[in-house]
């Protein structure tokens, strides 16, 4: 139904996500689970990265062994909730370079307004993954994708924990070629533009600012 959308149905991801959704889950546990799911998402989203061969010496022989090809990846976190995913992904991809884009949603127009942007150099030589836990209306995602595409990355993917169909459509109406990876595609957005059934405000739950 949504081309270029991958829902990561791995049982560990689904189980951890269910615990995150529960309103009784504490902030500390929510943060830890976000980090754990992020590692599993990182594993899936990097599945097709190209490899090259490097000559190495094992204790027994010389061999041509596979290593990731090209420059380090770039992870771009959409502040602030993206940082809860970023940390987990960095545990799996520690050499990645990191960018941050600060966006807030104008409460009247719902348009994403940028207040901060710092991206690493040489993006044109790197594969980029934008991370944000919630793909709701898609306005922040589109604003972040626009900003990164201005710098002409080698490739660009978007990773989230939860997506709403409206957000996926909005992103792909603007950028049909940007693959989206999510742990679940929920039913819809409610009148306040929260994802339902969802998990609430990801940033507030992650940082205990409810």
Residues with active-site annotation:
105, 109, 201, 204
Contact 119, 146 (CB under 8 A): no
Binding characters for ligand URA, 9-28, by CB under 6 A (x = yes): --------------------
Q: Per CB under 6 A, does 195 bind ligand URA?
A: yes
Q: Per CB under 6 A, does 198 bind ligand URA?
A: yes
Strand 62-68 versus strand 51-57 pairing type: antiparallel
Residue closest to 139 by CA, chosen among 165, 103, 115: 103
Backbone angles phi, psi at 66, to 5 degrees: -75, 135
Q: Which of 134, 159, 160, 180 binds ligand URA (CB under 6 A)?
A: 134
Instruction: Give least dist CB 194 to ligand URA, A.
Output: 4
Q: Per CB under 6 A, does 75 bind ligand URA?
A: no
Backbone angles phi, psi at 44, to 5 degrees: -75, -40
Residue closest to 173 by CA, chosen among 127, 137, 209, 124: 137
Instruction: Give least dist CB 123 to ligand URA, A.
Output: 26
| Total residues interacting with ligand URA, rule: CB under 6 A | 8
Q: Which residues bind ligand URA (CB under 6 A)?
A: 134, 136, 194-195, 198, 201-203
């Amino acid at each position: 139904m949504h081309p270029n959308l991958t829902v990561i149905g791995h049982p560990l991801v689904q189980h951890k996500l269910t615990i995150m959704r529960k309103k009784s889950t504490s902030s500390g546990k929510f943060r830890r689970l976000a980090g754990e799911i992020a590692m599993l998402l990182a594993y899936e989203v990097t599945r097709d990265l190209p490899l090259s061969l490097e000559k190495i010496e094992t204790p027994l022989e010389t061999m041509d062994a596979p290593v990731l090809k090209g420059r380090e990846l770039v992870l771009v976190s959409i502040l602030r909730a993206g940082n809860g995913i970023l940390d987990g992904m960095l545990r799996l991809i520690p050499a990645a370079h990191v960018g941050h884009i600060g966006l807030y949603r104008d409460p009247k127009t719902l348009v994403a307004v940028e207040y901060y942007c710092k991206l690493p150099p040489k993006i044109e030589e790197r594969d980029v993954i934008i991370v944000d836990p919630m793909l709701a209306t898609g306005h922040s995602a589109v604003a972040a994708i626009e900003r990164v595409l201005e710098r002409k990355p080698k490739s660009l993917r978007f990773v989230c924990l939860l997506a709403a169909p409206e957000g996926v459509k909005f992103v792909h109406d603007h950028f049909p070629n940007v693959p989206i990876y999510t742990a679940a595609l929920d039913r819809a957005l409610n009148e306040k533009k929260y994802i339902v059934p969802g998990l609430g405000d990801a940033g507030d739950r992650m940082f205990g600012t409810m």
